[in-house]
């Protein structure tokens, strides 16, 4: 399928953009075309687009170059990130290396970091900028609508995002006194002055969850973090097959959930008890109304939990029936990978600390930074 854009697509002509859009891209030929089509068509705000080619071996660069006005740069050698986070001395990740390179070339007072697998709804960029101003946010992050197609995506993704919604409720993330902070790296809009003040992606260069780590730096430095589900602004299909899904969540789940072993057991217990009640109902308890009520109540509670992930009813039912044990397997796989100190992603292998050690290191790094009032940064703009 040809991913080239229509000949009429062009960027707004301006010498000083309001927003610099930065897209890290490593072997994204299946996704980059639709992403750039949706971004180059944005209206109501002056912007520039920077695609950072992270050593792609497919048509990623060719596709990016085909869009008029899009700046395409190389991420540079990954070895440049080895000394970026002196607190750990670990090598930076490919994504943070690309994001740093893009930010270094950006000209705007606002930076939008977004993934190559996203598609942006018409007018969403201008609305996001207005929302950041309205909410006085220094970092605004959207959780996109998740598109799923294969059976494994439909089974697993609602469970993952339901648990994320329970672990990181958006209203608590927005509350600076809640102690809960998060961001979704698929869409992070930041005020440039605040981003530079916390050290940018260089300060989280070796973090596997660079989005959450960056949000923690903003929060600990006194800046405003605003986060919400935004199916009205952006959508994404994160993984296109089981191997991609397995590798991606193996990399992330043990870091996203502070007690993956406990969550694993709870998830399996919910699934086993739910199916056990069904077995009782259809075997020898058909006349016992209490059993019917108990079984219905249990399944409704599970459905209510999964429904928070904003998937369709059909996908929720598939997730309830099959996704819970698959999620438990991915939790176990992720916990074991981090326990053994290595995770892989897109052909690269990264050395990692245990989840608790990584979280502690990020927190300690943030504490060493001087706190500042975000109003001072806004005054500069």
Span 296-333, pLDDT tens digits = 888 888 999 999 999 999 999 999 999 999 999 999 99
* 34 vs 356: which has the higher pLDDT: 34
Q: Is residue 91 part of a domain?
A: yes
| C-alpha to C-alpha distance for 70 and 356, rounded to whole angstroms | 40
313 and 366 belong to one structural domain? no
Res. 103: pLDDT tops 90: yes
Residue 378's pLDDT is what? 46
Residues 321, 303 share a domain: yes
CA dist 181 and 177 (Å) reads 10
- pLDDT attached to residue 3: 43
89 and 207, same domain (yes or no): yes
Same domain, 53 and 135: yes
- Residues of the chain with pLDDT > 70, as a percent, come to 83
Mean pLDDT of the 286-295 span: 68
Q: How many CA atoms lie less than 13 Å away from 321 in the CB half-sphere?
A: 10
pLDDT at 164: 96
- pLDDT above 50: residue 9: no
- Same domain for 297 and 217? no
249 domain-assigned? no
Lookup result for tokens 């919604």: 165
- Looking at the structure, tell me whether residues 89 and 166 fall in a common domain: yes
Number of structural domains the chain divides into: 2
pLDDT tens, position by position, 179-230? 999 999 999 999 999 999 999 999 999 999 999 999 999 999 999 999 999 9
**Averaged pLDDT for residues 40-56:** 97
Tokens of 95: 């994504």
**Rounded mean pLDDT of 158-171?**
96
- Mean pLDDT to the nearest integer, 261-274: 91
- For residue 8, being part of any structural domain is answered with no
Query: How many other CB atoms are there within 10 angstroms of residue 7's CB atom?
Result: 7
Q: Which two tokens stand for residue 317?
A: 């039912």
Same domain assignment for residues 215 and 88: yes
Q: What is the CATH number of the domain that holds 48?
A: 3.90.550.10
17, 53, 106, 227, 350 from 142: Cα distances, Å: 21, 23, 21, 6, 27
More confidently predicted of 14 and 247: 247
pLDDT of residue 16: 82
Indicate whether 337 and 367 sit together in one domain: no
Q: CA-CA distance, 35 to 55, in Å (whole number)?
A: 19
Query: What tokens appear for 377 in the block?
Result: 């940064």
Q: Is the pLDDT of residue 166 over 70?
A: yes
Mean pLDDT of the chain: 87
Verify that 350 and 375 share a domain, yes or no: no
How many helices (DSSP H) and strands (DSSP E) are in the chain?
15, 12
> What is the predicted pLDDT for the residue at 286?
55
CA distances (Å), origin 147, targets 315, 324, 356: 11, 19, 31
On the question of pLDDT at 373 being above 90, the answer is: no
Tell me if 312 is assigned to some domain: yes
- Structural domain that includes position 79: 19-150+161-239+358-380
> CA 82 to CA 76: how far, in whole Å?
13
- What gap in Å lies between CA 93 and CA 96, rounded to an integer? 5
CA dist 91 and 320 (Å) reads 39
Residue 7 in any domain: the answer is no
Residue 364: predicted pLDDT: 39
161-198 burial, b at 16+ Cβ within 10 Å, e below that, comes to bbbbbeebbbeebbeeeeebbbbbbbbbbbbbbbbebb
**Do residue 192 and residue 316 come from a single domain?**
no
279 with 210, same domain: the answer is no
Q: Tell me, what's the pLDDT at 309?
A: 95
Question: pLDDT at position 277, please?
Answer: 77
pLDDT on residue 324: 96
In a domain, 307, yes or no: yes
**Given pLDDT bands bounded at 50, 70 and 90, which one contains residue 288?**
low
User: Rounded distance, CA 371 to CA 223, Å?
Assistant: 9
Looking at the structure, tell me whether residues 199 and 298 fall in a common domain.
no
Give 14 or 302, the one with higher predicted confidence. 302
The tokens of 219 are what? 């929060």
167 within domain boundaries: yes
Asked if residue 131 has pLDDT above 70, the reply is yes
Q: Is residue 205 part of a domain?
A: yes
pLDDT digits (tens, 9 = 90+) for 17-32: 999 999 999 999 999 9
DSSP character string of 340-380 = TTEEEETTEEEE---HHHHHHHHHHHHHTSPP--HHHHHHH
Is residue 370 predicted with pLDDT exceeding 60? no
| pLDDT-above-90 percentage for the chain | 75
């Amino acid at each position: 399928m040809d991913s080239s854009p229509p000949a009429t697509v062009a960027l707004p002509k301006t010498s000083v953009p309001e927003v610099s859009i930065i897209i890290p891209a490593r072997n994204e030929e299946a996704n980059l075309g639709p992403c750039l089509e949706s971004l180059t068509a944005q209206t109501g705000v002056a912007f520039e687009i920077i695609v950072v080619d992270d050593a792609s071996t497919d048509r990623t660069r060719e596709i990016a170059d085909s869009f008029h006005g899009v700046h395409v740069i190389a991420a540079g050698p990954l070895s440049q990130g080895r000394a970026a986070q002196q607190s750990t001395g670990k090598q930076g990740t490919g994504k943070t290396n690309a994001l740093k390179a893009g930010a270094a070339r950006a000209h705007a007072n606002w930076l939008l970091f977004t993934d190559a697998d996203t598609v942006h709804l018409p007018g969403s960029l201008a609305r996001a900028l207005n929302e950041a101003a309205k909410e006085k946010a220094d970092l605004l992050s959207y959780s996109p609508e998740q598109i799923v197609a294969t059976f494994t995506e439909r089974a697993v993704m609602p469970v993952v995002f339901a648990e994320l919604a329970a672990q990181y409720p958006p209203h608590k993330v927005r509350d600076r006194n809640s102690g809960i902070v998060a961001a979704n790296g698929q869409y992070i809009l930041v005020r440039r002055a605040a981003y530079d003040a916390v050290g940018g992606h260089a300060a989280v260069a070796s973090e596997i969850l660079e989005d959450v780590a960056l949000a923690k730096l903003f929060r600990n430095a006194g800046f405003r973090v605003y986060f919400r589900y935004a199916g009205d602004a952006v959508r994404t299909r994160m993984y296109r097959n089981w191997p991609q899904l397995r590798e991606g969540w193996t990399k992330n789940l043990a870091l996203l959930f502070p007690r993956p072993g406990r969550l694993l057991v709870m998830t399996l217990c919910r699934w086993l008890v739910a199916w056990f009640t069904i077995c009782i109902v259809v075997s020898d308890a058909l006349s016992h109304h209490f059993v019917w009520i108990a079984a219905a109540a249990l399944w409704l509670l599970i459905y209510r939990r999964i429904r928070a992930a904003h998937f369709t009813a059909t996908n929720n039912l598939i997730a309830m029936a099959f996704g819970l044990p698959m999620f438990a397997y991915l939790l176990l796989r992720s916990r074991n990978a981090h326990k053994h100190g290595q995770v892989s992603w897109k052909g690269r292998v990264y050395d990692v600390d245990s989840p608790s050690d990584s979280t502690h290191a990020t927190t300690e790094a943030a504490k060493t930074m001087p706190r500042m009032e975000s109003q001072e940064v806004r005054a500069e703009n």
